[in-house]
Amino acid sequence: MEAPAQTHIARRDPETVMRLSRLGSFHQCRLSFMRQLTRRLARENWSFSRPVFDIDENGVGRVVYTAQGPEHAYSLVAFAHDLPPEKRSDRVIADAWDATFALFDGVPTKEDVDRLSQNVPLQEAGRVSESELSLSRANRSVRLWKHVVDALASGQQPDLEQIYQVGYLMRTTAVYGSGKFGASDRENIADRPETQAPFQAEMLSVYLTRTFVRDLVQHMANIKGGAKTAELDSNIARWLGIGNSTGLGMAPFLVNHPVLLNNWIIAREEAIARVRSIEFASATEAQHFRDVFERSKLSVSWWTSEHPIQIEKLAKLREDLDKITAYLTQDDLTRDYPWNRMVEWSEDALSEEGQELVASQILEPYADLVDDLGIQMANKNMDVFYIDGSMSVDELRSTLKAQFGWALDKDWTVQEHCARAWYVSEEKLEPRLGERFEEPIEEYEQPLAPARDAARAYAALAGWDGDKRVAEFLLQHPEHRHTVRRVQIRPVAPYGEIQDNTISCDIMPIDMLRCKLSFFGATHFDPRSDRWVRICMYSGAPYPEELSIENADQWVYPELPA
């Protein structure tokens, strides 16, 4: 099916979409970066090899995996370590890990691997070069790791239920790219077809890391069990993803990159609008949706959390699944704008978790209609956005009111509205969120409260002649430059601004983390507080040697038992 020249159903309003509670209910979809990557790897018939596997009986050593595409090769250089239990920590202040990695641009020589061996295990304390595209590290999920090693060593397969419950043998605690610690800037690879979409190098690094973890656990089982060791069943291995522990370091990204955030959101919203505008769906398309929905129910049944808020959201989502099931018994999904009717029904009948699940899953039958939007999700305009000083004060006032009207009437001196402050820790140079009235942090506050700052700028404009120019205003009030810049970006980035107070007493930073991670393609969000979350990546995905056109996309939905 070709994309319609014009959608009949408009994209959802930014004021609806960009609320934190909704952003914190997003699910992965066809445009998720992991699925974009695996589709490309299969479509272009990439080849994979493991030229180096030098791991000793203690699980210490080095491994290299190379992915060869039509024009470029990329290699994961992995280092395995024998980490004492007391050193294992997911916190950013950790200085040792079970495994450390770099994604190398090309095929490394022995000298390259030797150089990396002196730096990659140190992570922030080391330095990499422009030959490296990312730097990462991971820790074992200790109980599941031991269970899998022991089971295989005794000639048995691991318990699939335990794998479903945990989902991964190792979890990354950071995947750094885009110039950090000396690594290559994104601009160096942004024009390559395989890295034009966002975070493709990082997603490839994680995909190859998953293969390393599978191979390492098999190696350790072989060491322990010898000749009687079982080979890990491929159908079980497929449900071993890569975990990730993500904290506040990711949250400011969405505030600091309004154009990029807009491009992600607008691509998803355009995809939803295109599908909602379909007047008639074929029986095949309707059945495709039903199949995906049934498979997603199984995935949700494996989704657990220890956090009270997510436990409540999961309970509502499971109620929503029952409501959707009942809806599907009464609608054949083929006529009278079936997807638009379903979305409109969900807005009245379901929680935000359920609404966003429906919004994501209606895209599944429509690869030809949706997938072209993936390439538009990067910020290809790398030029600085210059402030237009010729704008009149009147125009600035009206624009501020239009974009931040909900924030202008708040009393920003009331503690509940400004209870928190974002700052950067001196020790690790990582974002932190502190209590403004309990900690001496206000003088270190970062400009991560656009709503509060918009209200301040609007107040500063009081008494100014409307015919004056913004340049004159900013000469007297340079502290409002960042607000004026954000306001002027809005016409080209309507979905670039979070429509909520990011420093309120009840701010939930995990909503920002969930939003970003959903675009990566993460599943099974498990907040451990309001400030960090564990997720799973690539659970269900085929390994490189299994990857094909047939299995490269909908691996995220588990196959139903026969």
pLDDT of residue 4: 44
Q: Do 367 and 320 touch, CB atoms closer than 8 A?
A: no
Q: Quick one: tokens of 257?
A: 């990159």
DSSP code for 560 = P
Alpha carbon separation from 216 to 209, 210, 212 (Å, rounded): 10, 10, 6
The DSSP H or E segment spanning 494 is none
Q: Where in the chain are the domains?
A: 14-27+257-379+511-520, 33-247, 393-492
> In what order do the strands lie in the sheet containing 241-246?
47-55, 61-68, 73-80, 99-105, 132-140, 168-177, 241-246, 533-537, 523-527
Q: Quick one: tokens of 362?
A: 């209606």
What dihedral angle (degrees, nearest 10) is formed by the CA atoms of 225, 227, 228, 234?
Answer: 90
In whole angstroms, give the CA distance from residue 388 to residue 484.
9
DSSP code for 469 = B
**Full pLDDT tens readout for the chain, 562 residues:** 444 445 689 999 999 999 999 999 999 999 999 999 999 999 999 999 999 999 999 999 999 999 999 999 999 999 999 988 877 776 666 789 999 999 999 999 999 999 999 999 999 889 999 999 999 999 999 999 999 999 999 999 999 989 988 899 999 988 888 777 889 999 999 999 999 999 999 999 999 999 999 999 999 999 999 999 999 999 999 999 999 888 887 788 899 999 999 999 999 999 999 999 999 999 999 999 999 999 999 999 989 888 899 999 999 999 999 999 999 999 999 999 999 999 999 999 999 999 999 999 999 999 999 999 999 999 876 556 889 999 999 999 999 999 999 999 899 999 999 999 999 887 767 888 999 999 999 999 999 999 999 999 999 999 999 999 999 999 999 999 999 999 999 988 999 999 999 999 999 999 999 999 999 999 999 988 888 888 999 999 999 999 999 999 999 999 877 6
pLDDT of residue 511: 95
pLDDT of residue 407: 94
Long-range contacts made by residues 434-442, C-beta under 8 angstroms, separation at least 24? Answer: 436/503
Q: Tell me if residue 421 falls in helix, strand or coil.
A: strand
Rounded to 10 deg, the angle between the 258-276 and 338-349 helix axes is 120
Q: State CA 286 to chain mean position distance.
A: 28
Going by their DSSP bridges, the two strands 168-177 and 241-246 should be labelled as parallel
The DSSP H or E segment spanning 102 is strand 99-105
Tracing tokens 């610690």 back to the chain, one arrives at: 181
Count the neighbouring beta carbons within 10 Å of the beta carbon of residue 384: 7
pLDDT of residue 189: 94
Alpha carbon separation from 487 to 128, 287, 327, 451 (Å, rounded): 37, 44, 42, 11
Alpha carbon separation from 74 to 21, 118, 134, 467, 497 (Å, rounded): 38, 20, 11, 56, 35
